Amino acid sequence: MRAVRHLLDAIKFEHTVFALPFAYVAMVLAADGWPGWRVLVWVTLAMAGARTLAMSVNRLADRWIDARNPRTRARHLPSGLLSPRQVGAAAILSGALLLVSAAKLNPLCLALSPIAVLFLVGYSYTKRVTWLSHWILGFTDGIAAAGGWIAVRETFDPPVFILWFALTVWIAGFDLIYACQDVDFDRAEGLHSVPARFGVAAALHAAKACHVLTVGAFAALGAVMGLGVLYWVGVLVVAGLLVYEHSLVSPTDLSRLDMAFFNVNGYISVILLAAVLAGLWA
């Protein structure tokens, strides 16, 4: 049980809240309401498997880097609280859960699941080759929205691409902020990020641009889906939270970065889900 607790802590399982609500948003929009218990259960399990696979591989891929970084050297693999074998087993089992869940949903979900696995495994290595890694991470998380939609309709439709884009730029935006704390280390190690390549100020400006696009995409989604006034209230709240998030950090003060990254963004995903539900049913 101790190893399980360490694993859940290592992969930050609670941060599934960032992407899981977007899978639910896609489900209810695709179903124009309640998608049914079968879809809900298997999408939830697929998301849990996908998130655990991605973070397990990330921890394995970065364990030597984490050991050299003062900020991360106390993580579970570098400190010896978990072994690579344990984390590798978690990755294999969670990948299997993702594939089984996809098979239980429909043939298209199963057919596309290997592509999802490719991104879930591969994004951890992109910072070794390109500073576009922030957007690749966002695109990978955006697969949650695509999966939720095709789980219901077994097809791609224009609204899912709007939601996928929104999730891509939202995740990329706060990953740009998060990466600012490692700018000196990334430069020393030859790792690629926008802060390391262009500086912290440029990264924060890019994050703001991403989040402006996020709000624009949410507005486009509401217009295309004909969502009610309560949805638009939710979008305004999300926009306000994004403004607040950016007020917490500056090129000369990143002391409140964790609050901006973890707390505010967790609220945003849940608020948007509530706004969509209210926009559909109120």
CA distance 134 to 206: 11
How many whole angstroms separate alpha carbon 277 and alpha carbon 65? 42
d(CA 6, CA 75): 10
Rounded to an integer, what distance in angstroms lies between the CA atom of residue 131 and that of residue 53? 23
Enumerate residues 6+ apart whose C-beta is below 8 A from 41: none
d(CA 102, CA 43): 8
Give the three-state DSSP class for 143: helix
> DSSP string spanning 219-278?
HHHHHHHT--HHHHHHHHHHHHHHHHHHHT-BTTB-TTHHIIIIIIHHHHHHHHHHHHHH
CA distance 244 to 236: 12
**Which pLDDT belongs to residue 80?**
86
Query: What burial class does residue 142 get, using C-beta atoms within 10 Å of its C-beta: 0-12 exposed, 13-18 middle, 19+ buried?
Result: buried
Task: Find, among 25, 46, 48, the residue nearest to 217 by Cα.
Answer: 25
pLDDT at 79: 87
Tell me the pLDDT of the chain (282 aa) as tens digits: 666 675 566 556 555 667 889 999 999 999 999 999 999 999 999 999 999 999 999 999 999 999 999 988 888 888 888 889 999 999 999 999 999 999 999 999 999 999 999 999 999 999 999 999 999 999 999 999 999 999 999 999 999 999 999 999 999 999 999 999 999 999 999 999 999 999 999 999 999 999 999 999 999 999 999 999 999 999 999 999 999 999 989 998 888 877 666 778 888 989 999 999 999 886
Q: How many CB atoms lie within 10 A of CB 226?
A: 9
Phi, psi dihedral angles at 249 (to 5 degrees): -130, 155
The letter for the amino acid at 61 is A
Q: Is the pTM of this model over 0.75?
A: yes
d(CA 129, CA 133): 8
CA 253 centroid distance within chain: 25
Which domains, from first to last, does the chain contain? 2-281 (1.10.357.140)
Look at the block and give the residue holding tokens 């489900």. Answer: 27
Question: What is the spatial distance between Cα 105 and Cα 218, in angstroms, rounded to a whole number?
Answer: 27
What pLDDT, on a 0 to 100 scale, did the predictor assign at position 76? 84
